[in-house]
């Protein structure tokens, strides 16, 4: 009765082996679902293709951070040393690109590292302190010998009965509705 008052997080299904998991993921993708994930104790070759996972935009985020660091460092040093506060040091030109290389390199690496860190946190929607799947007792097997697929209720096509029927037709050994813990 308590479960009726809680909100559904998704439907979780367990499969016997990696082959069945890949087949189930492909079937879920082909059924039109987009908010689903698979869980296995080790990486499975071909899972990204079966799930239809797109290439991560993290590389572009890191490149943007690096370019901002490089251009920002160069622009600041040229502006300060060449125009705003020019100093004659040993008769060298005010705008001397070779002496700017170490600082430009350091800021390029620093902002690329910040972009990688915060981009990864943002793309993974972190921090998330609790996942409702952790409340499922069988899900502890996901790090040992369990192979799971979860269709989340946030998917536009989600219907509990329809998801269970899809998992049953793919040979799931156990199907369970997962509720939000709040």
pLDDT band at 182 (very low <50, low <70, confident <90, very high): low
Rg (Cα) of the chain, in Å, rounded? Answer: 25
Residue 1 is predicted with a pLDDT of 46
Q: What is the pLDDT of residues 106-147, one digit of tens each?
A: 999 999 999 999 999 999 989 988 889 999 999 999 999 999
For the entire predicted model, the pTM comes to 0.74
Q: Which of 9, 12, 3 is nearest to 163 (CA)?
A: 12
**What average pLDDT does the chain have?**
93
Summarize pLDDT for 81-104 with one digit per residue, the tens. Answer: 999 999 888 888 888 899 999 999
Question: Given pLDDT bands bounded at 50, 70 and 90, which one contains residue 4?
Answer: low
């Amino acid at each position: 009765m308590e479960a009726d008052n809680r909100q559904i997080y998704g439907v979780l299904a367990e499969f016997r082996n990696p082959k069945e998991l890949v087949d189930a993921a492909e079937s879920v993708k082909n059924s039109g679902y987009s908010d689903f994930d698979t869980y296995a104790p080790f990486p499975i070759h071909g899972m990204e293709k079966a799930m239809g996972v797109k290439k991560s935009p993290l590389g572009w985020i890191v490149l943007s951070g690096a370019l901002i660091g490089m251009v920002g460092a160069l622009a600041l040093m040229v502006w300060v040393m060449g125009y705003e506060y020019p100093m004659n040091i040993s008769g060298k030109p005010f705008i001397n690109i070779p002496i700017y290389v170490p600082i430009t390199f350091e800021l390029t690496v620093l902002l690329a590292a910040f972009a990688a860190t915060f981009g990864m946190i943002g793309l993974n929607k972190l921090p998330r302190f609790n996942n409702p799947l952790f409340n499922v007792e069988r899900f502890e097997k996901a790090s040992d010998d369990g192979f799971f697929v979860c269709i989340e209720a946030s998917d536009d096509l989600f219907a509990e009965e329809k998801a269970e029927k899809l998992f049953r037709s793919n040979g799931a050994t156990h199907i369970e509705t997962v509720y939000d813990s709040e």
